[in-house]
Amino acid sequence: MTGKAKPKKHTAKEIAAKVDAATTNRGGGKAGLADRSGLEKGGHAKYECPHCKTTAPDVKSMQIHHDAKHPKIPFEESNLVNRHANMAVGDSSSKPRPGVRGSYKK
């Protein structure tokens, strides 16, 4: 045990882990905002529940969600909405969206 006057030492492994955590992009903040919002690539989650619009990254997670939240409805993989495929098919950013100021032109 070290005394009060002696500073505590850190190992090289611990310092390297701190540097890695501080300098690696983990997808948070402004760097990952576009990916999380789903505007460009569809976001992190690939699938969307057709009943409640909850998203999931894979079919297995969506099946777990479906069994827990919609037990009376049978699970069908064909009904799932593939958000990544929908984003790649059409670019809806050029079309005016209703309800957005300035999108309606007379």
pLDDT digits (tens, 9 = 90+) for 9-22: 888 899 999 999 88
Cβ pair 56, 10 in contact under 8 A = no
User: What does pLDDT average to in each consecutive run of 10 residues of the chain (106 residues)?
Assistant: 72 91 77 64 74 87 92 91 68 56 55
Look at the pTM and tell me if it is higher than 0.85. no
- State the pLDDT at residue 2: 60
pLDDT by residue (tens digit) across 38-53? 566 555 678 888 899 8
Half-sphere exposure of 66 toward its Cβ, with a 13 Å CA cutoff? Answer: 19
* Per-residue b or e along 13-49, where b marks 16 or more CB atoms closer than 10 Å to that residue's CB: eeeeeeeeeeeeeeeeeeeeeeeeebeeebbebbbbb
